[in-house]
Chains A and B, each alone.
Chain A
Amino acid sequence: MNIQQNMSLMEKLAILTDAAKYDVACTSSGVDRKGNGRDMGNCIAAGICHSFAADGRCISLLKILFTNECIFNCAYCQNNCNSDVPRASFTPDEVCELTMEFYRRNYIEGLFLSSGILVSPNYTMELIYQTLYKLRNIHRFNGYIHVKAIPGADPALIEKAGYLADRMSINLELPTADGLKKLAPYKSRTTILKPMRQIQNGITENKNELILYRKAPKFVPAGQSTQMIIGATPESDFQIMQVSEALYRNFDLKRVFYSAFINVNQDSALPMLPGGPPLLREHRLYQADWLLRYYDFTVSELLSDDRPNFNIYLDPKCDWALRHLEYFPVEINRASYHTLLRVPGIGYKSAERIVKARRNTTLTFSDLKKIGVVLKRALYFITCSGRMMYNTKLEENYICENLMADRTQIPKDIRNSGYRQLSLFDSGMLDESTIPQSHIIASEMTASH
């Protein structure tokens, strides 16, 4: 380890930001808290992103590690005790100063504090707790705080921190226990799931307390989240999504985040990904994740043992619709909200607007366009007052070819010739280049119709 003394705040910030950047959760959402007229800060339930970094990811919270002087040796992590990176630790006061000064300049929405394991899990958790305590009680900070619970730390410490934070998370790291054992020998499923369960129970109990006594202190009001690394171990999308579904169901998680694996340590035990991180796969997982949380889908509808991975050409909802044409076409003016949600091109906001708007009038295709429905995707699956928009066939190949004829519907990575991850997926789809020219022309004609 390369521990330097007397580093400037600037150097520490650089090192500990670098160390924290692979953590994906950066949302400031889930809690609505008005200012109290005295302390600095409030929270908006939808969350606010304050800037966007060069990789296009949002900057919402000051995302830093407390320390990267870690005693663990997780293979996927650049801060593991065997890797040769500069090390640094903040003091609680430094973290508070940065948070307060950034916050009042409207650079950030709050603090995201994670940490490597310094000395022991308890020692680290205690330091994190002290930082939060100072921030809340001495600096009177009322903004958003997302804090990591350190696996293996004393439950009492985790509980104390939970009363100061808005959101807590414990990273699941890898989708299966086997993967975890192999790549993160100091962590285990139990040390991860135990605090997760503890926080879940804490939140439930706290809700009951709040019913009895409105002013009871709030425990993790924005809920808890977790993240998984995608592509470091050979799990299929189906396995990953099953884990997510179980987490949502059994642990009441607010969010599960997916992080495309980047081999930061050039570790030979881990896959080398010459084409860069599996970003498209990550994207498909997020799409499916939204289907679970907002669209009432279950994982078994989207994937199965026979089809363990998502289609790279089509988003999961389109893919599902094409395999279940028996449910279509859907009549816009009669179908239930739940049914509307399943139509490609109709999002949950449009579905809500449709349900409200059709109370007063009969909707037409031009109304749908105004409402925000993506007609170029939806038109194959819907009728308005019994009519389709154009004379289209309800046939898997026909719809698929027409959807693909619109090049903007195909992920950019594939469009720009040969996606690097192609081999990982079983491509049952037609190759884009084999779409006959006649179909493309035909679809253009129908579009101008």
Chain B
Amino acid sequence: MYVFVCEDSLEGIFTGVYDACASRLGHRNIRLITGEPENYELFSEYIHVTPSDEKTGKVIRTITSRFGMQFYESIYQAALSGERHSVKKMDKADAIYETILLALASGDGQKVLLSLGEPCVYRIFELCRATNREACHHLEFLRFSELENGVLFATIHPKDNVLPYLAEHFTDRLPMENFMIYDATHQTVAVHKASMRYILTDATDLDLEKVNRYSESEQEFRRLWLTFFDHIAIEARKNPHLQMQLIPKRYWADTPELSRFA
């Protein structure tokens, strides 16, 4: 068995897919994993994949031209998933590799994505669903604070790498605002300057002290928001269990309503 060890990123996985296909070792003898395995198998050969722009580009071109954007989007979403590598479940890189192979064999990507009976396709479906859900939750629960210099700043702790999706959404929504979204899990930042495109960069240069200095009116609007939050609830229908079900605990810390959750 040959195991291709990929970096946990879109580039890493797609380069892995490219290398695996090009290696001519026989699809049945190949497995892909993201990140170093916890235990090395005795009779497997481990091949480390160096991410390459060129190979990634080739894979993307092949997928989009043959199977369409929708297929690519599913694969892309699955690749952004932050689910930990585990023995029980198929690795996302492996699922992507096998699904692409199935699509290449049948020629119809859409059809392949519907055959949930295939373990790899079902895995893609699961990962997509999870990433999508995480992205939607962040559209809901992400909160901006206004800093001294008028910049809007938000901190998030997402499981999956949903920052590109969020940056896209908020660029469309707040075109004339300067804003930054800081992904503390993946240590990346999306920076948007008024009426420009956003950029994604890593968070090493971010001054965490500076982003805690809020503008004068910030506290006032937070108080107004909490007033609204408290008064909109109907006492006779109180249901903390339902509330907790709908806004899971891990999102609480990044919202100003934190103090109001039981």
Q: Which residues of B contact A104 (CB under 8 A)?
A: 144, 152, 174, 177
With contacts A54-B243, A105-B143, A106-B143 taken as known, whether A59 is within 8 angstroms of B221 at the C-beta atoms is: no
Taking a contact as CB atoms closer than 8 A, the residue among A13, A34, A41, A50 that contacts B141 in the complex is A50
In contact, B232 and A59 (Cβ under 8 angstroms):
yes
Q: Which residues of B contact A399 (CB under 8 A)?
A: none
Q: How far is the CA of A276 from the CA of B239 in the complex (A)?
A: 12
In contact, B236 and A105 (Cβ under 8 angstroms):
no
13 A-B residue pairs with CB within 8 Å: A14-B230, A50-B140, A52-B242, A57-B234, A62-B228, A101-B221, A101-B224, A105-B221, A106-B170, A262-B236, A277-B236, A277-B237, A370-B117
Task: Quote the shortest CB–CB distance from A253 to chain B (angstroms).
Answer: 24
Task: Quote the shortest CB–CB distance from B159 to chain A (angstroms).
Answer: 19
Q: How far is the CA of A18 from the CA of B235 in the complex (A)?
A: 11
B contacts, CB < 8 Å to A: 111, 114-117, 122, 125, 136, 139-146, 152, 154, 170-177, 195, 217, 221, 223-225, 227-243, 245-247, 255, 257, 260
With contacts A18-B231, A37-B195, A105-B221 taken as known, whether A360 is within 8 angstroms of B114 at the C-beta atoms is: yes
Of chain B, the residue at the smallest CB distance from A105 is B144
Q: How many pairs of A and B residues are in contact by the CB < 8 Å rule?
A: 155
Task: List 9 tightest A-B contacts by C-beta distance, closest first.
Answer: A56-B242, A53-B233, A17-B231, A54-B233, A55-B237, A35-B172, A56-B239, A52-B246, A105-B144
Taking a contact as CB atoms closer than 8 A, the residue among A21, A38, A105, A366 that contacts B232 in the complex is A21
Of chain A, the residue at the smallest CB distance from B173 is A42
In contact, B240 and A54 (Cβ under 8 angstroms):
yes
Of chain A, the residue at the smallest CB distance from B121 is A370
Confirm or deny: A22 has a beta carbon within 8 angstroms of a beta carbon on chain B: yes
In contact, A59 and B177 (Cβ under 8 angstroms):
no
With contacts A360-B111, A361-B117, A371-B116 taken as known, whether A53 is within 8 angstroms of B232 at the C-beta atoms is: yes
What mask results when residues 344 to 360 of chain A are scored 1 for a CB within 8 Å of chain B, else 0? 00000000010011011
Q: Which residues of B contact A360 (CB under 8 A)?
A: 111, 114-115
With contacts A13-B228, A54-B260, A62-B228 taken as known, whether A48 is within 8 angstroms of B175 at the C-beta atoms is: no
A contacts, CB < 8 Å to B: 9-10, 13-14, 17-18, 20-22, 34-42, 44, 48-59, 62-64, 98, 101-102, 104-107, 260, 262, 276-277, 279, 353, 356-357, 359-361, 364, 366-367, 370-371
- Select the residue from A42, A48, A104, A353 with max chain B CB neighbours within 10 A: A104
In contact, B239 and A55 (Cβ under 8 angstroms):
yes
Q: Is the interface of B mostly helix, strand, loop or mixed?
A: helix
Q: How far is the CA of A56 from the CA of B240 in the complex (A)?
A: 7
In contact, A40 and B176 (Cβ under 8 angstroms):
yes
Of chain B, the residue at the smallest CB distance from A26 is B232
Given contacts A105-B145, A370-B122, 8 further A-B contacts (CB under 8 A): A10-B223, A14-B227, A39-B175, A39-B176, A40-B173, A55-B242, A56-B243, A360-B111
In contact, A17 and B173 (Cβ under 8 angstroms):
no
Of chain B, the residue at the smallest CB distance from A20 is B232
Of chain B, the residue at the smallest CB distance from A369 is B116
Q: Which residues of B contact A57 (CB under 8 A)?
A: 232-234, 237
In contact, B231 and A21 (Cβ under 8 angstroms):
yes
With contacts A22-B234, A50-B140, A105-B145 taken as known, whether A17 is within 8 angstroms of B227 at the C-beta atoms is: yes
Q: Which residues of B contact A17 (CB under 8 A)?
A: 227-228, 231-232
Q: Which residues of B contact A14 (CB under 8 A)?
A: 227, 230-231
In contact, A276 and B224 (Cβ under 8 angstroms):
no
Q: Which residues of A contact B141 (CB under 8 A)?
A: 50-51
Taking a contact as CB atoms closer than 8 A, the residue among A58, A107, A356, A357 that contacts B225 in the complex is A107
Q: How far is the CA of A102 from the CA of B152 in the complex (A)?
A: 12
Q: Which residues of A contact B246 (CB under 8 A)?
A: 49, 52, 56, 58
Q: Which residues of B contact A54 (CB under 8 A)?
A: 230, 233, 238-240, 243, 260
Q: Which residues of A contact B117 (CB under 8 A)?
A: 361, 364, 366-367, 370
In contact, A357 and B238 (Cβ under 8 angstroms):
no
Task: Quote the shortest CB–CB distance from A149 to chain B (angstroms).
Answer: 22
Of chain B, the residue at the smallest CB distance from A98 is B224
Of chain A, the residue at the smallest CB distance from B146 is A105
Q: How far is the CA of A36 from the CA of B221 in the complex (A)?
A: 26
Q: How far is the CA of A148 from the CA of B18 in the complex (A)?
A: 57
Task: Quote the shortest CB–CB distance from B132 to chain A (angstroms).
Answer: 12
Q: How far is the CA of A74 from the CA of B147 in the complex (A)?
A: 46
Of chain A, the residue at the smallest CB distance from B177 is A104
Q: Which residues of A contact B195 (CB under 8 A)?
A: 37
In contact, A9 and B224 (Cβ under 8 angstroms):
yes
Of chain B, the residue at the smallest CB distance from A102 is B225
Q: Which residues of B contact A59 (CB under 8 A)?
A: 229, 232
Of chain B, the residue at the smallest CB distance from A263 is B236
Q: How far is the CA of A44 from the CA of B231 in the complex (A)?
A: 26
Q: How far is the CA of A332 from the CA of B234 in the complex (A)?
A: 44
Q: Which residues of B contact A51 (CB under 8 A)?
A: 140-141, 229, 247, 255, 257
Task: Quote the shortest CB–CB distance from B197 to chain A (angstroms).
Answer: 11
Q: Which residues of A contact B122 (CB under 8 A)?
A: 370
Of chain B, the residue at the smallest CB distance from A34 is B172
With contacts A106-B142, A262-B234 taken as known, whether A53 is within 8 angstroms of B227 at the C-beta atoms is: no
In contact, B233 and A40 (Cβ under 8 angstroms):
no
Q: Which residues of B contact A357 (CB under 8 A)?
A: 114-116
Q: Which residues of B contact A63 (CB under 8 A)?
A: 232
Task: Quote the shortest CB–CB distance from A346 to chain B (angstroms).
Answer: 15
- Select the residue from A37, A55, A62, A356 with max chain B CB neighbours within 10 A: A55
Of chain A, the residue at the smallest CB distance from B218 is A105
Q: How far is the CA of A412 from the CA of B231 in the complex (A)?
A: 27
Q: How far is the CA of A54 from the CA of B151 in the complex (A)?
A: 31
Q: Which residues of B contact A260 (CB under 8 A)?
A: 237
Q: How far is the CA of A262 from the CA of B235 in the complex (A)?
A: 10
With contacts A18-B231, A52-B247, A102-B221 taken as known, whether A107 is within 8 angstroms of B111 at the C-beta atoms is: no
Of chain A, the residue at the smallest CB distance from B154 is A106
In contact, B229 and A53 (Cβ under 8 angstroms):
yes
Taking a contact as CB atoms closer than 8 A, the residue among A20, A35, A62, A107 that contacts B143 in the complex is A107
